Every structure is written in structure tokens, then in C-alpha cells.
Amino acid sequence: MAIVTKIYLLEQTEALLAGGTPSAGFKFERGLILSYIQQAINARLKSEYFNVTLPSEETIPDGLILATYEDVPVERWKSKSRTLLPAIPVSLKRDMGTYHISDPDYPDEPFIPIQSGLYPFIKTQSLINGLFGHIRYSRENRYIVYTEDITLRENPINKVLMKLVVMDFNQYGDYDILPLNAELGMEIVTNVAQLLSGAPPPDRKVDSISEQPMQIR
């Protein structure tokens, strides 16, 4: 499986535009291609600047965005189910990097995160019985593990909506791994190549990241 970096996306886009290895007369500058790639990533991930207000004096690093990943597959695993993270979120306190997981049909009803290994304890606590009926999960390395097999519910959930906190595109080096899997990477490459091959170069760059503020209580 390809490791998705800026250079990988750039070279794959150049190859599509040139129909192979770019020649000396290749007309598209790398800076231009990268600007289109950035715009395509921001649009595809519905990027929002991660500008949060915390209830305490905790600080959030600058240069972070909230990226949306749609239709992330759920697989059956042992007696439960799990989802492979489409990207590794930034490490933040309270695992805030995994910001939101929900059924795509009910995005306003987020699943409830619990600390890995605490579910047996939680089940014995009468004061938090209100959690039951809601879907709970914990993060285990690169996986989100649900406390039940959500593919076997009355209304089966086979894909989920995820919002993860990742770094802004500009924060990544040329060979840093981007928050994209290989499938999303090739989707970006194809879209950018199609756009560039059918449109003249733009006069200016456009940053399509939303600046909607968020608040955490």
C-alpha cells in the first residue's frame, strides 16, 4: 500500500498530466500543483480550523484542523466490531484528537468514548446507566473498537462518520505521512489532474478551510 506524502501526490499528479514521466517542456509548476492538491484535500475532508475553547487552561497547539472522513468501513471483530482509523489524529489530552464518531445517518448523535479497558467497570455503575442504548467505543492503537457488534443492530451500522484532529497541510514536510489513506490519495490525484488539464492556471491561491469556531464544554 502506498504511503501518501506531498511528494507522492505531486509525482502521481504529474504522471497523470504528462501521460507518463514529465518531459522538459512540462507546463505545470510544482508549486501550482501543490496548491491545487491542498485545496482538493481541504474540500474533500471538509476541513475546519480547530479553534476550540476549553473549560480549563489547557492549550491547543496552533496549525490544527478538523478533518471529516465519510463512510469509514466497520468490520466484525471477535464478538464486537471495529474501524480502522483513516488517519492518525494528533495526540491531545483526553484523546480529543478523535473528535467525533457517529452513524452517518445520525451525525447529531455521536458515539460515546470510554477509556480502553473500563467497559466492564462502567457496566456495574448504576449512576451511568443512561449510557446504555448509546454506542460506546475505545481507541486501541490504529483501531476504534466498539463495545458491541454494531453491524448486527436492528439498524445495522456498516460505515461511520469520523472527525479527526490533524495538522494543516502546510505543517507537513514533503515526505511526512499525510492524513489520507491510499484510496483517498488517488482520489485527490485524479481530481487535481482532471481540474488542471481542463482549466487555465489560477491567478491566486484559495484556502478553503472553514474558520468556524468550536467550543468544548
Q: What is the pLDDT of residues 128-157, one digit of tens each?
A: 444 556 899 999 999 999 999 999 999 999
Q: Hey, where are the domains in the chain?
A: 6-47+170-212, 59-165
Model confidence at 109: pLDDT above 50: yes
Q: Are 4 and 188 in contact (CB under 8 A)?
A: no
Contacts 24+ apart (CB under 8 A), 67-70: 67/163, 67/164, 67/165, 67/166, 67/179, 68/161, 68/162, 68/163, 69/45, 69/161, 69/162, 69/163, 69/164, 70/104, 70/161
Q: pLDDT-derived band of residue 209, with 50, 70 and 90 as boundaries?
A: low
C-alpha–C-alpha distance, residues 50 and 165, integer Å: 7
Model confidence at 61: pLDDT above 90: no
Residue 217: per-residue pLDDT? 39
What per-residue string of b and e applies to 163-176 under the rule 16 or more CB within 10 Å gives b? bbbbbbbeeeeeee
Residue 54: per-residue pLDDT? 66
φ/ψ of 30, rounded to 5, equals: -65, -35
Residue 95: per-residue pLDDT? 86
Residue 116: per-residue pLDDT? 67
Mean pLDDT, residues 108-125 taken together: 72
Residue 192: per-residue pLDDT? 96
Give which of 58, 57, 61 is closest to 49, Cα–Cα.
61
Residue 51: per-residue pLDDT? 76
What's the one-letter identity of residue 76? R
Q: pLDDT-derived band of residue 115, with 50, 70 and 90 as boundaries?
A: confident
